[in-house]
């Protein structure tokens, strides 16, 4: 398991060990539901938070965002691309794959006199076996007295962000609030961000029928 993901993957084998799924045909939605139920199991959420806090402590006191994303889609999701509006990724890379039932963590940092504002795209499948791209974005502004922190999430068909209008997207990211959610084609995404100099962003991707 990579060092920047946390928790055991929730697979068919995981469900078959549970009484309610024995002698049952297991679906992607079933795997998503169990992954969501196990979101904080075995201290994986605590371990993920400790990891990104460690990255922050090593980076220092400048503006940054400790990013955590949880996958409860029923299948693995893979990194597609990222975009920096202000700042850049810290020393640890984005998780390449986040298994169903795992947290992924990374640190996004500011530059001199800028905020930490960026986004990342992960690709997974919906309950209809169609590939789609999940976008998670965070905004921790440099000038907190004049600008608010925001979170933004969106879900689109595979490849949508390969030709995105990032200038327009920047305005969209700045216009939301500290929480944001999106439902599209059987998928649901949630995002939330804090207001501290080193804020925490938490994202969730899930099969909307698993809730």
Report pLDDT for 191.
99
pLDDT in tens, 111-138: 989 999 999 999 999 989 999 999 999 9
Report pLDDT for 127.
85
pLDDT in tens, 70-83: 999 999 999 999 99
Q: 91: pLDDT confidence band, cut at 50, 70 and 90?
A: very high
Q: How many Å apart are CA 45 and CA 196, to the nearest integer?
A: 20
**What is the rounded end-to-end Cα distance, in angstroms, of the chain?**
27
Report pLDDT for 76.
99
Residue 103's domain is classified under what CATH number? 2.60.270.20
pTM of the model: 0.98
C-alpha dihedral (23, 29, 30, 35), degrees to nearest 10: 160
Q: How many CA atoms lie within 13 A of 22 on its CB side?
A: 3
Please tell me the total count of domains within the chain: 1
C-alpha dihedral (15, 20, 24, 28), degrees to nearest 10: -40
Report pLDDT for 146.
86
State the greatest distance between any 2 C-alpha atoms of the chain, in Å, as a whole number.
Answer: 59
pLDDT in tens, 173-205: 999 999 999 999 999 999 999 988 889 999 999
Of 104, 38, 31, 21, nearest to 74 by C-alpha is: 31
Span 46-75, mean pLDDT?
97
Q: Mean pLDDT for the chain?
A: 97
Report pLDDT for 196.
82
Contact 170, 85 (CB under 8 A): yes
Q: How many Å apart are CA 211 and CA 202, to the nearest integer?
A: 18
Report pLDDT for 195.
87
Span 6-11, mean pLDDT?
99
Q: Which domain holds residue 133?
A: 5-210
């Amino acid at each position: 398991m990579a060092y920047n993901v946390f928790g055991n993957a929730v697979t068919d084998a995981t469900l078959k060990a549970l009484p309610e799924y024995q002698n049952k045909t297991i679906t992607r939605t079933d795997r998503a539901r169990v992954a969501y139920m196990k979101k904080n199991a075995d201290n994986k959420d605590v371990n993920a938070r400790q990891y990104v806090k460690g990255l922050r402590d090593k980076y220092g006191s400048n503006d940054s965002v400790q990013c955590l994303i949880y996958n409860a889609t029923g299948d693995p999701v893979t990194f597609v691309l990222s975009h920096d509006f202000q700042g850049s990724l810290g020393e640890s890379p984005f998780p390449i794959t986040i298994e169903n039932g795992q947290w992924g963590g990374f640190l996004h940092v500011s530059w001199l006199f800028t905020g930490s504002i960026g986004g990342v795209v992960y690709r997974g499948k919906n309950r209809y076996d169609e590939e789609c791209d999940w976008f998670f974005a965070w905004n921790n502004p440099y000038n907190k007295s004049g600008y608010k922190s925001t979170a933004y999430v969106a879900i689109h068909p595979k490849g949508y962000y390969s030709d995105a209008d990032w200038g327009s997207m920047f305005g969209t990211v700045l216009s939301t609030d500290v929480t944001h959610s999106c439902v599209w084609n059987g998928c649901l995404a949630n995002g939330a961000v804090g207001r501290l100099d080193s804020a925490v962003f938490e994202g969730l991707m899930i099969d909307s029928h698993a809730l």
